[in-house]
Amino acid sequence: MTLLTDTLKDSAISPKATTSMSSETSDPSRPLIRVSDFDFFYGEKQALFDINMEMLENEVTAFIGPSGCGKSTLLRCINRMNDLVDVARIGRGKIEVNDADIYDPRVDTIELRKRVGMVFQKSNPFPKSIYENVIYGLRIQGINKKSVLDEAVERCLKGAALWDEVKDRLDTSGLSLSGGQQQRLCIARALAVEPDILLMDEPCSALDPVATAKVEELIHSLKDQYTIVIVTHNMQQAARVSDKTAFFYLGKLIEMAKTDEIFMSPKNEQTEAYISGRFG
């Protein structure tokens, strides 16, 4: 098995290697994230039961399900943010990113998180300027060259569809932006370290419909370059933005299929009940 860090180093030499390679091989069904037989515990309480799923490159996968069903837990397992929880532990199974087991003891979470970015439910820009917010990930890697940073700021803010709104006030505080702008700033910040995967934990739950539409549009445009996993409570949103949808219930993956299929003709009764609004 290739070690993740090795894989990462290869891709780090030329950042676009992974994307260009995938287009060359033109194998759209290559799974970038694979979860197999995965059990997960918070202390004695089991949060995830025997999860098996694959998330394909350059696709948007949506996790839906009622509160407490484990969808956010699984998301936070993919970049090992659950390591911050003292009592969290894995019972069984593994998660692979780009064919490397991310829970291998030799894997450095720092390297992993540079490849697997995350956007949180509540927008959380740092109390710094917009400029400094975007380049935070570069600064911590020791990159201080002005030209590189300027270029990154423009690229990421454009990528997050925020450039036109803030280009004249890059040195004002990130906290002075509106809620939707803040969330897009957080996405821009996540893009700066050039990840391959973006994890989004209910990114629109605190936004008004207009801001939500903008972020959804953004997710659409990011799909070409990134593999996106999004947790959402909003089923219309899942239907709008995702290629695949996975329905979770009580820590189990009930059903996963193409978004059209799952919304039109769910195979499982529970899925149908949830989607049609009969429970949850």
Partner 1 sequence: MTQKGETNRYDLHSRRRRFLGLDKDQALKGLFGGNALVSIIVLALITFFLFKEGVGFFGQYRQDIELHRRSGIEYVEIMKEQSAAFTDLNRYLNSIRGEHATLLQEQGMAFKDARAELKVYEEFIYAFEDLGYPVSEYALEMAEVAIGARDMYEESANLREHRENLLALGRDEEAADVEVLDVDLSLFVGMLKEGEADFLALNDALAAGLLSHIEKLPVIGIDSLDAKMQRFAELSRMFVGELEGYESRLAEWDPDLPVNMVSAFGSFLFGKNWVTNSSIQDWYGILPLFTGSLLVATIAMFFAIPLGVGAAIYVNQVAKPAEQNFIKPYIEFISAIPSVVIGFFGIAVFGQFVREVSGWTILSGFDIFPISERLTAFTAGCLLALMAIPTIFTLAEDAINNVPKSFKEASLAMGATRLQTTLRIIVPTSLSGIISAVLLGFGRVVGETMVVLLCAGNRIEIPNFTNGIGTFFEPVHTMTGIIAQELGEVVNGSIHYRALFMVGMVLFLISLLINYLAQKIVLKYQISRG
List all residues 6 or more positions away from 137 whose beta carbon is below 8 Å from its beta carbon: 114, 189, 190, 192, 193
| Nearer residue to partner 1 within complex by CB, 137 or 266 | 137
| Shortest distance in whole angstroms from residue 124 CB to partner 1 | 4
42 scored as a contact of partner 1 (CB under 8 A): no
Distances (CA, A) of 51 to 38, 94, 163, 166, 186: 5, 10, 39, 42, 29
Q: Which two tokens stand for residue 250?
A: 């009580």
**Radius of gyration, CA atoms only, the chain:** 19
Sites for partner 1 among residues 137-176 (CB under 8 A): 137, 139-141, 173, 175-176
| Nearer residue to partner 1 within complex by CB, 186 or 222 | 186
CA distance 95 to 74: 10
Of 41, 42, 103, 136, the one binding partner 1 (CB under 8 A) is 136
Q: What is the CB neighbour count within 10 angstroms for residue 200?
A: 28
114 scored as a contact of partner 1 (CB under 8 A): yes
The residue assigned the tokens 């799923």 is 53
Q: By rule CB under 8 A, what count of residues binds partner 1? A: 29
Q: Which two tokens stand for residue 20?
A: 């260009």
Of 48, 60, 130, 186, the one binding partner 1 (CB under 8 A) is 186
| Nearer residue to partner 1 within complex by CB, 69 or 78 | 78
Q: Which two tokens stand for residue 188?
A: 């821009």
Residues that bind partner 1 (CB under 8 A): 79, 81, 84, 86, 110-114, 117-118, 120, 122, 124, 126-128, 136-137, 139-141, 173, 175-176, 186, 189-190, 193
